[in-house]
Amino acid sequence: MSPAPLQMPSRKGLLIRLGASFAVAAVIVFCAVLPAEFHRDPTGVGKLTGLMALSQPAPVDTPADSKLAAVTAAGAPARSYRLPFRSDEVKIPMKPDGELEYKVKMQTGGTLVYSWAADHGTVYYDFHGEKPDDPDHAQSYGTGVSAAGNGSLIAPFAGIHGWFLQNQEGTPIVVTLKMSGFYELREPQSEQE
């Protein structure tokens, strides 16, 4: 016995099915999608079912008197800072075989994006941080000899962070340091002969 061939529904049957599909879609949009996604509840079903709560942002409890620069938790993808955003470009002239420390003051969680380059030759650099009340507590972020460097820092502690630079050439050079972020400038420590 072979199965009977399938019959296509009539035009009237197709229109009825199409209309029923549009009606079901409209009910879903007005009763579920609008309350859950757009915080609109024209039917009142969103309030009854709790779907309205899905479209409201979660409350954030921010301590008003926190002494930290970064208000949000460390490691969070978004941060807030008490210090204003700033950008600086500093030209650092260095004598032959001279050295200098250039540092900024940062709070825990403060962010700094930097780029530095010597106008010619190479410099020895030591990028590090230290706590002002505990000079023995220093942390190195990187050392080397290079003509340029780029990177970022999220301060692991409140304190002074920056670069020790030493001219590796027998001629004067100028190091251009570009910084952006949430920090306070400090006067560079003079070159030592």
pLDDT of residue 35: 87
SS3 25: helix
Of 4 and 170, the one with more pLDDT: 170
- Per-residue pLDDT of 40-65, as tens digits, reads 888 888 888 888 888 776 665 555 44
Q: What is the rounded CA–CA span in Å between residue 88 and residue 100? A: 18
Structural domains of the chain ordered from first start: 12-55 (no CATH), 86-192 (2.60.120.510)
* pTM metric for this prediction: 0.58
* Residue 94: closest CA among 116, 114, 115, 123: 123
pLDDT of residue 180: 95
Q: Which residues contact 174 (CB under 8 A, 6 or more apart)?
A: 91, 92, 93, 94, 118, 119
Strands (E), 61-133: 86-94, 99-106, 111-118, 123-131
Give the mean model confidence (pLDDT) for residues 127-140.
85
- Per-residue pLDDT of 80-117, as tens digits, reads 888 899 999 999 999 998 999 999 999 988 999 999 99
